[in-house]
Amino acid sequence: MKKPELLAPAGNLEKLRFAIHYGADAVYLAGKSYGLRAGAGNFSLEEMEEGVQFAHERGKKVYVTLNIIPHNADLKGLDQYIKNINKIGIDAVIVADPGVIALVKENAPNLSIALSTQANNTNWKSAKFWHDIGVDRIIVARELSLKEIKEIVEKTPNTLEIEAFIHGAMCISYSGRCLLSNYMTNRDANRGACAHPCRWKYYLMEEKRPGEYYPIYEDESGTHIFNSKDLCMIEHIPELIETGIDSFKIEGRMKSLYYVATIVSAYRKAIDLYFKDPSSYKTDLKWIEEIKKASHRDYTTGFYFGRPGASEQIYDKSTYIKNYNFIGIVLDYDPKTQIATIEQRNRIVIGDEIEIMSPHREYFSQKIEKIWDEEGNSIDAAPHPQQIIKIKTEHPVSFRDILRKQINKS
């Protein structure tokens, strides 16, 4: 049985490094144009080249999104952009439009192509069609069950890879083909500028009673009728693997570095444990606890086990559940003194109860007894963004270990 690829989002160069450090086999990212996450940091060509070098030195892959639904104007300059990213040495492009596929074939004929979920591929016949015209991987529509994906795997050539989302935000629109954003804010979701109106609060107004608003769901605060739960398949690793999916994809190029590291780490451990001994595999509750320490909405298994019902939406709020703050990154560690050099990311004060997580071991908890600044002066708090401080740790730590603190717990 082939071990599936764990594919992580990379909204910028720093997130790319952390995704790979915490266990991703590959990352997907966008340049400054042509991707569907215009609000992410995204990559200049120079940053992309640096990211590819970082990944390839560690035996990992980089995929670049070209998955907008382009209008005529969007095609200008795309041929040269394809040549440029191909020269950098990326491993594949993610494409949703047949015209863009044609441009890739014309300008980088040896570059691997993955068909975006935006193309809403829902059956084996269309998957085979795309493969016949040069697509190497299908990112299947999120509206498919495991049974349907398994049939696609079985009825398509072994040379065609299948990728599927296993974790992250779900879009209310069919395979992300949303018109709400364009209609309501003139921001085209299919060209990378989604305003996320599905997360807004809505009321019902009767035509002849203007100004009188009625909640669609019986709650004084109104309703968020389009607001779906987040996908989470951490408890179903065996079923995903046995379906034959080649790549497990995590959503989240707009999410934080801490989110990416936390989610990737949990799925990495789950996948590795399964392949260590499938017969004795059991979901570790610690993985579920870990992913809940990253900002998230309530979780769902989406369409994997049948059509979602009304309980898969969140009607009373659009905010995330956030129980932990990401407060710092380990830059260096001196084993003789047990002193760690930390880059602060949120306020740290003496007396804080913190957790330190790592891709190499289980997290541990400790209390911060002393803090020193870069010059070695004792300080009570580190309030400045990215301030460099030093603390003593109760156990050895490593470069890129992450510090977090439970919210409302000092």
pLDDT digits (tens, 9 = 90+) for 165-188: 999 987 666 555 566 666 567 776
φ, ψ for residue 283 (rounded to 5)? Answer: -60, 130
Whether residues 150 and 93 share a domain: the answer is: yes
Q: Which of 257, 286, 312 is the last residue of a domain?
A: 312
82-106 mean pLDDT: 97
pLDDT grade for 218, boundaries at 50, 70 and 90: very low
Q: Which of 265, 283, 312 is the last residue of a domain?
A: 312
Task: Say yes or no to pLDDT of 306 above 90.
Answer: no
- Distance between CA atoms of 99 and 251, rounded to whole angstroms? 25
- Distance between CA atoms of 355 and 353, rounded to whole angstroms? 7
Our CA angle for 304, 305, 306, nearest 5°, is: 100
Q: What is the DSSP string of 268-318?
A: HHHHHHHHH-GGG----HHHHHHHTTS-B--EE-TTTTS---GGGB--S--
Whether residues 250 and 376 share a domain: the answer is: no
Tokens of 406: 């439970």
Whether residues 53 and 83 share a domain: the answer is: yes
pLDDT grade for 241, boundaries at 50, 70 and 90: very high
Determine contact, residues 162/138, Cβ cutoff 8 Å. yes
Q: Tokens 């997290």 label which residue? A: 363
- Distance between CA atoms of 319 and 297, rounded to whole angstroms? 7
Residue 187 forms part of a structural domain: no
- CA dihedral 179→184→189→191, nearest 10 degrees, is 100
Q: What is the DSSP string of 192-243?
A: T----GGGS-B-EE-TTSTT-EE-SSS-TT-B-TT-BPEEE-GGGHHHHHHH
Q: For the chain, state the CA radius of gyration.
A: 23
Whether residues 156 and 289 share a domain: the answer is: yes
**CA dihedral for 163, 164, 166, 172, sign (positive or negative):** positive
pLDDT digits (tens, 9 = 90+) for 143-169: 899 999 999 999 999 999 999 999 998
Task: Say yes or no to pLDDT of 254 above 60.
Answer: yes
| CATH number assigned to the domain comprising residue 131 | 3.20.20.70
pLDDT grade for 1, boundaries at 50, 70 and 90: confident
Structural domain for 114, as ranges: 5-173+227-312
- Distance between CA atoms of 166 and 248, rounded to whole angstroms? 6
Residue 218 forms part of a structural domain: no
Whether residues 144 and 168 share a domain: the answer is: yes
Give me the chain's average pLDDT, please: 88
Whether residues 262 and 119 share a domain: the answer is: yes
Residue 263 forms part of a structural domain: yes
Overall number of domains in the chain: 2
Whether residues 232 and 107 share a domain: the answer is: yes
Q: Which of 259, 284, 312 is the last residue of a domain?
A: 312
- Distance between CA atoms of 358 and 362, rounded to whole angstroms? 7
- Distance between CA atoms of 67 and 226, rounded to whole angstroms? 24
Residues in the chain: 410
Q: What is the pTM of this model?
A: 0.85
Residue 111 forms part of a structural domain: yes
Instruction: List, in order, residues 6 or more apart from 115 with CB less than 8 Å away.
Output: 94, 95, 96, 121, 130, 135, 137, 138, 139
Whether residues 290 and 350 share a domain: the answer is: no
The pLDDT, as a whole number, for residue 192 is 59
Whether residues 249 and 395 share a domain: the answer is: no
Whether residues 276 and 366 share a domain: the answer is: no
298-312 mean pLDDT: 77
Please give the DSSP secondary-structure letter assigned to residue 376: S
Residue 208 forms part of a structural domain: no
Residue 283 forms part of a structural domain: yes
Whether residues 244 and 334 share a domain: the answer is: no
Q: Cα–chain-centroid distance for residue 188?
A: 21
Task: Say yes or no to pLDDT of 313 above 70.
Answer: no
Residue 399 forms part of a structural domain: yes
| CATH number assigned to the domain comprising residue 397 | 2.40.30.10
State how beta strands 339-344 and 388-392 pair: antiparallel
Residue 256 forms part of a structural domain: yes
Whether residues 296 and 386 share a domain: the answer is: no
Starting at the earlier edge strand, list the strands of the sheet with 364-367. Answer: 364-367, 353-357, 402-406, 324-334, 339-344, 388-392, 371-373, 378-379
